[in-house]
Structure 1
Amino acid sequence: MGTRLSEQRVADPRTDRQVGWLIALGSMVGAFAQAAPLSFVQAGLFEPWWQVASWMCIGLFVVIAVGGRVLPMRVLRVLWVLIPTCVFSLQLLSFLAYTGPEEGVVPWVWMIEPGSVTLLVLLFRPLVAVALTVFSGVTVALSAWIFTGAVPEVIAAATPIHVSNIGFVVIFIGIRGRMTQLRRLEEDARLAAERQARQEAETERNAELQRLVHDEVLSVLAAAALFRGAAPRELQDEAAHALLVLRDSVDSDGDADPGAVIAAAEAAEEIRLRAARFSSVELRIDDRGGSLPADVVQEVSAAASEAIRNARRHSGAERVVVDALFSHDRISVVVRDDGAGFDLATVPAERLGVRDSIIRRIEEVGGSVRIVSAPGAGTEVSLTWTR
């Protein structure tokens, strides 16, 4: 036991806790199936102090078996050191405490040696643990030679068997190494999943900012470029709203509750406020009550706003009609105009207004979009979400 613990190979604490607990459970089988019965048979052959100390070692195994999954690691490490030290010492002192016949007996504490040497796996490097196991196997023979001057035949015969406890040590070295490897793989997988989640969140955030810039900033700038002199009141209102949205986006920490809900009446008001930003829009709302996911309402409202903006600015429509329905399990918003219409298949991929700000936005919250349009026939954009 003279090798410093600083030379031990440190594994994951959770792995060592579990391995130590398994060793203690296995040791309990040997302790109560072999050692305990033999201790009563040999009750008059060893000094009382040696008997009490040997039972204390069994008690320490019981402590680990019962509390090994909840005790603090510092307590467990003390027990892992204390048990092998105690067992080694009692084996070395066994023939000092022996009071029986000269032919000798196998000290019953030797029966709990497999568990004690296996704990060395948690304390030392493999080679050191194996060397200490060999030493433990010869301690009883060494005790007999030191204190009686001879090694009884029964001890000489049992010594190779106890040296073979190396097999238990090697098995648990493999178990500990495999469990440590699995723990590391689990940790690597967890970190990879966290990185992927962060990347996906960042991608979604960038996409949302891209849509925001298109919907609120570029659209205002494009409209402003068409005017000379003072901008109309409607354009000024949209510019003020764009600044407000940008400020809110910068101030937002991105931690909004994805499970938040709002009343259907609030959802209707959201559509009403967005439509009010545009002149000459006929709005018809069917509010059937209930509550709806706040994030879905936000995305549907934003997509509807983009559809209205496209109708007012690009189609040359004289009339834009918005029909909105809100109930506890459904949202439906239909934007119709009598403008020039267009062919959706001819919209370039880099144009975000329809593909990203409307279609992708609704599909990401589990909804669907239907666009009916043809040159000279106006446009109808239907946004639908069903719980």
Structure 2
Amino acid sequence: MAADGASSVPTFRPRQTRNPISGPLLDKIFARALAALGVVFGLQAVPFVIAQQPSMQVAWGWIISIAIFGGFIAIGLASTVMRGVETAAAFVAISFLVALITWPLAVQDPTHVQPQVPWLWYLVTVATSAAAVAFSLWVATGYLFLAPVIYGLIRITPSGGGVEPLRAALDASYSIILGGAVLILITLLRQASMSVDTAQNMAVARYSSAIREHATELERVQVDAIVHDSVLTTFISASRAFSPDERALATTMARNAMSHLTTAASVTPFDESSTSLTSMRERIQVLVANLGADVEVRAKGLDDHVIPANAAEALYSAAVQAIVNSVQHAGGDDVSRWVSVNWAREMVTVEVGDTGSGFNPAAVPGERLGVRVSITERLANAGGEASIHTKTGSGTVIRLTWPRAVPRPQAVRTHVVEDEE
């Protein structure tokens, strides 16, 4: 008889993974790299700023210098707290572009050929990098070509040094190539981080959906098992209780059912606590005593071994259902019944057996939930396995083991063996 498949319950709470490549992390790297670039090239340009200051308009020189170098400081501060990085980078890019455009008007004598390279040359790469960080891809690409081209045109004028067009074109091309490499690197890394973040979000969403579906399935099996064990079985026993012993048994089952229903809501399928095998055996003994049936309880090798609480609860509940089935269907006082709890080779085995009438598993109606839900699925969901050895007229032995001896990635099966003649 096969049981409906059910995947095993994870015995750990999944840890939150930390993605090494993500958008926020890359933004922080870009911001601090831009701040470092501004410091390095800014310090390189300071001597030239001081040297060329006498030939520049005083107001322009102070305003532009404070704007550009103040922007570098703003980027450094923003990269530290990761706030306003794009605003600071955009301010630097715009300030540099304004400085380039107004350079011919900033020198005191526009007709006099300046002997030195304009100090803005040392900051072209910083400006194009700031644009790559602050603006969208298309705007940053336009800035990449616009700023070096304007600088090349200024180099041809006397205020920019009056160099030959070829030299100005080479300087502009060099700036475009260097800035383009930075822009390509930033763009590729951003696209890669977006792909990783998207894939991670999809994986987390699918995992969350799977967890919800799994929890729903566990809840369904738990509710089915509780209804069958605690409610339907009690009702059936009460309807068939004619003798005083049968009525006492039905009364005891009703009390147990109410207690079970009261405490069921507090049990979670992901409980990480543990239970000793000794306490589980004692619970079985108490149950047998309350049932008033003659059931021998055996134990071997339990010592101080413990197992997860969800596994212990599944073993106990499945054993209880097997005992109740034996008391109700296997026969009267002439039938021998036993329960054994054994620990060996890192595995716990609970065996419930009797010498009663046995049964034909193939003849059990599908709507009967005792074996399929209360024993098989319940134990499979806890990571265990149930096997049934029975034959009509020759008794039944139900063996419950945890954990499964061999991992089964597919549907868990209930082994049913009909003994040969």
Could you state the TM-score of these two structures normalised by the residue count of structure 2? 0.71
DSSP-derived class of the 2:51 partner: coil
Q: Tell me the distance in 1 between the aligned counterparts of 2:201 and 2:270.
A: 28
Q: Tell me the distance in 1 between the aligned counterparts of 2:42 and 2:310.
A: 67
DSSP-derived class of the 1:102 partner: coil
Aligned residues: 366
> CA deviation digits over 1:350-385, x for unaligned, max 9?
433223322332333333333222111111222233
Q: Which runs of 5+ in 2 are unaligned?
A: 1-20, 55-60, 405-421
- Aligned-CA RMSD value: 3.9
Q: Tell me the distance in 1 between the aligned counterparts of 2:360 and 2:94.
A: 85
Deviation at 1:210, TM superposition (A): 1.1
1:282 corresponds in structure 2 to 295
Which amino acid counterpart does residue 239 of structure 1 have in structure 2? Answer: A
1:25 corresponds in structure 2 to 33
Which amino acid counterpart does residue 29 of structure 2 have in structure 1? Answer: W
After TM superposition, the structure 1 = structure 2 runs for residues 298-377 of structure 1, keeping only pairs within 5 Å, are 298-318=313-333, 319-325=335-341, 329-377=346-394
2:4 corresponds in structure 1 to none
1:240 corresponds in structure 2 to 255
Which amino acid counterpart does residue 271 of structure 1 have in structure 2? Answer: I
> CA deviation digits over 1:257-279, x for unaligned, max 9?
53201233322222123323422
Which amino acid counterpart does residue 340 of structure 1 have in structure 2? Answer: S
Q: Does 1:118 align with 2:108?
A: no
Q: Tell me the distance in 1 between the aligned counterparts of 2:25 and 2:100.
A: 27
Q: Is the 8 A contact 1:261 1:294 kept in 2?
A: yes
Q: Does 1:182 align with 2:196?
A: yes
Q: Is the 8 A contact 2:385 2:403 kept in 1?
A: no
Q: Tell me the distance in 2 between the aligned counterparts of 1:288 and 1:245.
A: 28
Q: Tell me the distance in 2 between the aligned counterparts of 1:383 and 1:107.
A: 86
Q: Does 1:106 align with 2:117?
A: yes
Q: Is the 8 A contact 1:308 1:320 kept in 2?
A: no
Q: Which runs of 5+ in 1 are unaligned?
A: 1-12
Deviation at 1:236, TM superposition (A): 1.9
> Which residue among 66, 80, 93 is the counterpart of 1:84?
93
Which amino acid counterpart does residue 337 of structure 1 have in structure 2? Answer: D
Structure 2 CA distance for partners of 1:15 and 1:128, relative to 1, 3 Å: same
Q: Tell me the distance in 2 between the aligned counterparts of 1:205 and 1:38.
A: 70
> CA deviation digits over 1:90-120, x for unaligned, max 9?
4345556658971454334333333433333
Q: Is the 8 A contact 1:28 1:61 kept in 2?
A: no
Q: Tell me the distance in 1 between the aligned counterparts of 2:397 and 2:25.
A: 65
Identity of aligned residues (%): 20
DSSP-derived class of the 1:259 partner: coil
Deviation at 1:61, TM superposition (A): 5.7
Q: Is the 8 A contact 2:354 2:395 kept in 1?
A: yes
Q: Tell me the distance in 1 between the aligned counterparts of 2:198 and 2:328.
A: 58
DSSP-derived class of the 2:84 partner: helix
DSSP-derived class of the 1:334 partner: strand
Deviation at 1:21, TM superposition (A): 2.3
Deviation at 1:310, TM superposition (A): 0.9
2:163 corresponds in structure 1 to 153
DSSP-derived class of the 1:190 partner: helix
DSSP-derived class of the 2:370 partner: helix
> CA deviation digits over 1:318-374, x for unaligned, max 9?
334333336695533222222111233444454332233223323333333332221
Q: Which has the higher contact order (CA 8 A, sep 6+)?
A: 2
Structure 2 CA distance for partners of 1:23 and 1:139, relative to 1, 3 Å: farther
Deviation at 1:186, TM superposition (A): 1.8
> Which residue among 220, 227, 241 is the counterpart of 2:234?
220
Q: Tell me the distance in 1 between the aligned counterparts of 2:124 and 2:47.
A: 18
2:16 corresponds in structure 1 to none
After TM superposition, the structure 1 = structure 2 runs for residues 38-117 of structure 1, keeping only pairs within 5 Å, are 39-40=46-47, 43-46=50-53, 49=62, 55-59=69-73, 68=79, 71-92=80-101, 94=103, 102-117=113-128
